[in-house]
Structure 1
């Protein structure tokens, strides 16, 4: 039997593994709910040991399910956040995830001082509350003894790579928007100085490009997973780029843009010259495309399908699935404590529901929430101005035909839906196939990524007019309300202080 390629994607909602044969056929998948996530107000952390143990468990279960000999492992995970380890490679407390909002006041302070724009001039990206550098700054100000114990500042995938191989290595794609310059591909030492951060880029692991960043499975990890010691382990890019590749961006000729609606929402295009993009919001990120020429520009939002969960929690009776139920109700889907990252870049961004009446029905609330996510997608794609072509859609909402049709209508682009719900794992498999097996670009597109399962065309007539009119109102209201976000944030802090003083 041909060797098996195992792919691991440790996400915010779930930890997933998939097994592929030598020809790109999916042999099996295993998924486990992320048990390690811990929410406490604006603090959103993750237990690093539970994260490691869950990753090892899903790899073991997936290998058993697939059968045969595992010839390679490819690893990806959340791209942002701070996963600190000491000199022995052990966790220094819980990880700061990309959703952690405790650094929001620091971001506001840095913005007022002009520091964020000075850093953007260096790195090409504006720091947010999810940036590892700002999270280290929070530790320097609030828990310096913990900062002193940190020997290496990792990301999740690097922590998993260390757990699997014992090697401290990283790939630069996810780190450069924070610590370096995507234009030159180099880490810059002056970021820490601009932040007055006592320790910065020297905490990063050594970087090697995707394809070269590999090591052998350690004996300890081999015992935990039931795999052979010495099995090659390849560190992939962040889960965002892996998923975009799995959706065909940069691989299928027809796909010029993509949107992922997972816990977060991420909108992207493939470009040869990112400096020519007409608009780049402060939260936009640019990474070199790991499978060939060009770059991926993407707008990572804090608020994705998780926004729908928040709406169901806040409004009684709102259904989980819904048919189109058009109304005047309009949401601004900025519900996460850290504000928003892109295309609206503001740590104080706050959600809104406009147009609620006593006769608003639960199904209208559910549908208006979906419309809001589509409007944010259009805002991003308009900013990126990708060439004409199809938009490939991924994440849990890709299974929602009604939402896919409305997204096509709002963005005025055909929407391709993937053949399965495993775009991130398929993208990792394609990366492994190229760098471990030497597969050609044509083989990656045909066998490892595959054709779209369905292409949904935009609607015309009254629905298109409704979508255009409501998007215009969405944008107008956002422009009108956003100047008040900082004041709203101060009132929120005051209210929390008042309630805290009452012991509630």
Structure 2
């Protein structure tokens, strides 16, 4: 098969590649599970060499299925986290991923001292347990020897770019929400000063705009992938912006907002003026839109579709499968990840809760209540962002769940355009590469590179709509009531760590 563009998305759950021809058609794909992720309680790390090996493997597999030259390669990867390298370009230990929860207490102390607000004044977003700046600060407090070995603080996609090209570069849209000002496009030492961080901005890669942030494929990477040495490698925006682009946010007519339910959940809108948002939680992010102008405003949640697997394990019901509605009085708060929550609730100690349990409740009711909770969080985010009227574009693993999609449309009170193919991030990358490598116009990108949704689902009227509205109101009221207790619950959990594991009579 002929191809022109090869795209790579190294995610938390899977590593995917796809090749596109000159008309934006997918001509080959490859995928493998992320073999590098390591979970141990609040510690969630990733083997950096294994991450690079996974990337080489999927690129090589995809390239083997193609005929004709590959004219360009563009990459993205999971956002946030700390992927440190030394002066020789070698990994300095494992990456600290965006799911790691070890900085929760640190974030709380900084928040009490008003230092996170000082950072937000510069970046428009407060650091959370996912933030690279807090990971470096944690190392400063807990592992100074490792911190001193770090020459560059990268993200996943920058580590992969280095592995493919030998160059240390970054693009600003993903980096500035942590380290600078999206309005000026500049990093700021005020961030590290507010946090008391001795080494921060000096560790960051050189910045270049998307399109200019590129280098040739190295000989070593060419040997591993079968792609010609010197092939242009572009560093795309973060995985979030890439996926939102692929879902048509900001380019498909009638779409003003989007939600993605992957391992995490992302809720976003495209706006010409971010000041039009009704409310901006501290964990929300604003990025210039790489495709057609304007801004993407989004709430990156820690708790997404992985909630289904967590609930299945906790209830002993086995692997989570397609949903079946089980409407009930069971109401769930879905904050189970060790880092707490980032947006629309910004709280490092956020934890889950289940209300309305009775002896008649079972795993089906709890599993469905978890999906309802994800829809309620999405609704809260979109209310805060106050996007113009229009449809919501839905992606991620739950986009293929017809019952969840219908309930989400019902809670939101608007049509949901579901894209179920799972290639949104790769398609967004391809559209961005087509713009910068071929000069494709916005009309061409919308027509040929951003595909139409698989299904469009309308809200369900009548009794289900009344049930959803009433339950969402209660969900929000209980959330407001419980938030002041999250830190106390976290403190009790810390006390429990040192207690005997078994009762001794």
Q: Is TM-score (shorter-chain normalized) higher than 0.5?
A: yes
Cα distance in 1, alignment partners of residues 364 and 398 from structure 2:
17
Quote the residue 2:21 is aligned against.
Answer: 21
Kept in 1, the 8 Å contact 2:172–2:207? The answer is: yes
TM-score, normalisation: structure 1: 0.98
- Find out whether 1:397 has 2:395 as its counterpart: no
- Show the 5 A alignment for 1:358-437: 358-418=359-419, 420-437=421-438
Quote the residue 1:313 is aligned against.
Answer: 313
Quote the residue 1:255 is aligned against.
Answer: 255
Cα distance in 1, alignment partners of residues 396 and 97 from structure 2:
19
- Show the 5 A alignment for 1:20-419: 20-317=20-317, 320-418=321-419
Q: Which runs of 5+ in 2 are unaligned?
A: none
Question: Which stretch shows the higher mean deviation, 274-283 or 317-326?
Answer: 317-326
Give 3-state SS (helix, strand or coil) of 1:176's partner. helix
For the structure 1 residues 459 and 501, does the alpha-carbon distance in structure 2 shift closer, same or farther, using more than 3 Å as the test? closer
Give 3-state SS (helix, strand or coil) of 1:76's partner. strand
Kept in 2, the 8 Å contact 1:18–1:29? The answer is: yes
The CA deviation string for residues 192-211 of structure 1, in whole angstroms up to 9 with x for no partner, is 11111110101000011111
Cα distance in 1, alignment partners of residues 494 and 402 from structure 2:
40
Cα distance in 2, alignment partners of residues 445 and 417 from structure 1:
17
- Show the 5 A alignment for 1:403-482: 403-418=404-419, 420-482=421-483
Cα distance in 1, alignment partners of residues 454 and 397 from structure 2:
15
Cα distance in 1, alignment partners of residues 66 and 365 from structure 2:
44
The CA deviation string for residues 216-271 of structure 1, in whole angstroms up to 9 with x for no partner, is 00000000001100000000000000000000001102100000000000000001
Question: Which stretch shows the higher mean deviation, 58-67 or 230-239?
Answer: 58-67
Structure 1 residue 366, shift from structure 2 partner = 1.5
Kept in 1, the 8 Å contact 2:3–2:67? The answer is: no
The CA deviation string for residues 114-142 of structure 1, in whole angstroms up to 9 with x for no partner, is 11111111111111011100000000000
Cα distance in 1, alignment partners of residues 498 and 387 from structure 2:
45
Cα distance in 1, alignment partners of residues 417 and 231 from structure 2:
36
Cα distance in 2, alignment partners of residues 501 and 216 from structure 1:
59
Cα distance in 2, alignment partners of residues 54 and 42 from structure 1:
24
Cα distance in 1, alignment partners of residues 199 and 125 from structure 2:
20
Cα distance in 2, alignment partners of residues 174 and 502 from structure 1:
49
The CA deviation string for residues 341-365 of structure 1, in whole angstroms up to 9 with x for no partner, is 0001000101001111111132212
The CA RMSD over aligned residues, in Å, is: 1.4
Q: Which runs of 5+ in 1 are unaligned?
A: none
The CA deviation string for residues 356-403 of structure 1, in whole angstroms up to 9 with x for no partner, is 111113221221111000000000000001111000000000000111
Cα distance in 1, alignment partners of residues 481 and 211 from structure 2:
47
Aligned length: 503
Give 3-state SS (helix, strand or coil) of 2:100's partner. coil
Structure 1 residue 446, shift from structure 2 partner = 1.1
Structure 1 residue 76, shift from structure 2 partner = 0.2
The CA deviation string for residues 17-60 of structure 1, in whole angstroms up to 9 with x for no partner, is 00111111101111100000001110000000000011011000
Kept in 1, the 8 Å contact 2:263–2:303? The answer is: yes
Cα distance in 1, alignment partners of residues 65 and 325 from structure 2:
39
Cα distance in 2, alignment partners of residues 316 and 501 from structure 1:
22
Cα distance in 2, alignment partners of residues 426 and 323 from structure 1:
30
Structure 1 residue 453, shift from structure 2 partner = 1.7
